[in-house]
């Protein structure tokens, strides 16, 4: 989120902005954000231009409610995550659910992670849902996002809310929404997002959230919900005999995954991991990492150190809400002797596992799993489609986000390269870093039984279905206008070459035909089947460039990626 310069002129009359801020202050139930805002108002009223600019940033717009729900920086104001905004969102969502229920009493389950204010936001939501006449069910304690996604289907409720900002910076939080019924527990998509947003706007326009009815008589979900999730997840890949003695390291990245994952691992029969103790307990400051995202440089350094100390065979990491999975393997050529597999490498291994499971089921019953499909986001590796073709499965390419992937017809596995994997769509319609980790442990044990490793499995997969390599270039900005300008430049003046390869075709997904994935995405098709995709991030102030290549060998595919990566960096430097 960008912050205006101190000498920037306010976008509206200062008196109007001060009036708006004072109105917000009067309804804010949080003493911390009240004190924060009161100080800014005092300075702004005295003519402090920095304070006026701060008010403009906080009140010049609202955090938009979209298909990702809400996510943003904690603080006072309509452009921040706080108790006022959450109350408005909860009341608006309740109105949407009542309207959708056509007179029946809808039920909603609420979960929360270990971030600052997550529990408070969840309790506020439960009280407002109950006060609006809904059946509100609060999960019994802080738990991973996949447990909430599971609970929506397990309890048969109409909706779910998870208070989390996943792997965002420490001072962020968010509000993620799921729908039951025909949506099968998936995250919301259009037009539900716009309908919910309209209800939220009406609540906000009505004024004081203190007038919203509340009821503390909401339910607390029984422990059976968590136990059922653990049983279903352990069943994804029960440990084979070869798993005995497996040495592996796990980190929860200061999040909420450790307790639940440890119970799943024990139930599935795998040996307990060597924990990264410094990162085991939930910590909203994420004190040992600069950025709580396993994809970020340095985030897994403590896990690698632990792995070297215990001579581990692999490392598994979850992000703070445990809906993503990172995997690392020993690699003598890598700095420190460990290499994190890319999201595409893990996705292709798990997709291969799913395809072979379908093949085995059809060997026993040719009519089994009709139309079974593998699905991934359009920025993920084309290798998944190659696996699907090899095993006679359907393949689907969707927009980014599991709200789309989870809706692929007859899906048996789905993934996106940003470390998200859906391995058990029969019980959860969202990415789940815990069930994916269990499936990965099963693959590691399978390789171990043959005296091999995940690295050799990757080569075996490539020999069967093609060797694919991927890469990514990204630019983080303070001003989102930089991203808009870059996309405009690339859209209106497409490059003739990227690296040494000629651009043979350009797909602008803003102009996609009906029925095809559409959005602010540019796809360049290069000579030799190499592909470059450019899109703004949906959750962070980043421009992302995704690179994919296929080769006769892993080495050839890697060489092609290195070439286009250098070309993509040069192109962005030239256009910035």
> Which residues belong to the active site?
166
β-pairing, 373-377 with 394-398?
Answer: parallel
CB 441 within 8 A of CB 270: yes
**C-alpha distances in Å from residue 442, one per residue of 83, 288, 313, 435:** 43, 30, 13, 11
Task: Please tell me the chain's helix, strand, coil percentages from 3-state DSSP, rounded to the nearest 5.
Answer: 45, 20, 35
Specify the DSSP element, H or E, that contains 44: helix 31-45
> Which residues, including other chains, have CB under 8 Å from residue 418's CB and lie 6 or more apart?
295, 324, 343, 400
Q: Kindly report the CA angle at 543 between 522 and 510, in degrees rounded to 5?
A: 30
| CA–CA separation, 83 and 85 (whole Å) | 6
Residue 238 is classified by DSSP as P
CA 505 to chain CA mean position, Å: 30
**C-alpha distances in Å from residue 414, one per residue of 422, 425, 519:** 5, 9, 20
Of 106, 85, 109, residue with least CA distance to 95:
106
How many CB atoms neighbour CB 378 within 10 A?
22
């Amino acid at each position: 989120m960008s912050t205006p310069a101190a000498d920037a002129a306010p976008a509206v009359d200062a008196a109007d902005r001060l009036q708006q801020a004072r109105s917000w202050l009067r309804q804010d139930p949080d003493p911390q954000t009240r004190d924060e805002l009161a100080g800014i108002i005092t300075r702004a009223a005295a003519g402090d231009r920095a304070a006026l600019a701060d008010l403009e940033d906080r009140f010049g717009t609202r955090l938009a409610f979209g298909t990702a729900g809400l996510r943003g920086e904690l603080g006072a104001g309509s452009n921040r995550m706080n108790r006022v905004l959450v109350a408005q969102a909860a009341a608006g969502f309740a109105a949407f659910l009542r309207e959708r229920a056509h007179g029946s009493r809808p039920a909603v389950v609420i979960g929360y992670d270990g971030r600052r204010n997550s529990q408070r936001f969840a309790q506020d939501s439960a009280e407002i849902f109950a006060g609006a006449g809904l059946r509100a069910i609060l999960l019994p304690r802080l738990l991973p996002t996949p447990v909430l996604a599971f609970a929506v289907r397990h309890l048969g409720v109409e909706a779910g809310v998870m208070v989390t900002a996943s792997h965002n910076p420490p001072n962020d939080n968010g509000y993620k929404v799921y729908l039951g019924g025909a949506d099968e527990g998936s995250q919301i998509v259009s037009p539900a997002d716009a309908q919910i947003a309209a209800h939220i706007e009406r609540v906000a326009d009505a004024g004081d959230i203190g007038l919203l009815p509340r009821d503390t008589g909401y339910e607390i979900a029984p422990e059976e919900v968590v136990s059922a999730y653990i049983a279903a997840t352990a069943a994804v890949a029960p440990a084979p005999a070869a798993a005995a003695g497996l040495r592996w390291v796990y980190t929860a990245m200061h999040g909420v995954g450790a307790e639940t994952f440890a119970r799943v691992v024990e139930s599935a029969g795998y040996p307990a991991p060597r924990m990264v103790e410094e990162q085991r307990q939930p910590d909203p400051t994420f004190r040992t990492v600069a950025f709580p995202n396993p994809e970020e440089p340095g985030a897994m350094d403590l896990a690698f150190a632990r792995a070297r100390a215990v001579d581990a065979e692999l490392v598994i990491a979850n992000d703070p809400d445990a809906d993503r999975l990172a995997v690392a393997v020993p690699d003598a050529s890598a700095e420190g002797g460990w290499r994190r597999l890319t999201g595409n490498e893990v996705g292709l291994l798990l997709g291969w596992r799913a395809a072979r499971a379908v093949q085995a089921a059809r060997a026993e019953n040719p009519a089994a799993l009709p139309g079974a499909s593998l699905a991934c986001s359009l920025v993920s590796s084309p290798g998944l489609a190659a696996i699907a073709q090899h095993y006679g499965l359907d393949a689907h390419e969707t927009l980014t986000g599991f709200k789309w992937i989870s809706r692929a017809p007859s899906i048996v596995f789905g993934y996106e390269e940003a470390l998200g994997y859906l391995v058990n769509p029969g019980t959860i319609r969202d990415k789940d870093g815990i069930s994916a980790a269990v499936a990965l442990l099963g693959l590691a044990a399978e390789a171990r039984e043959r005296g091999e490793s995940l690295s050799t499995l990757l080569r075996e997969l490539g020999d069967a279905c093609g060797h694919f390599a991927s890469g990514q270039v990204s630019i983080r900005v303070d001003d989102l206008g930089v991203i808009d300008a870059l996309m405009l430049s690339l859209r209106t003046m497409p490059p003739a070459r990227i690296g040494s390869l000629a651009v043979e075709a350009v797909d602008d997904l803003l102009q996609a035909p009906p029925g095809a994935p559409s959005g602010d995405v540019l796809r360049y098709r290069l000579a030799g089947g190499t592909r470059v995709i450019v899109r703004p991030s949906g959750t962070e102030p980043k421009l992302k460039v995704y690179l994919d290549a296929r080769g006769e060998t892993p080495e050839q595919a890697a060489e092609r990626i290195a070439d286009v990566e250098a070309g993509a960096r040069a192109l962005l430097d030239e256009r910035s």
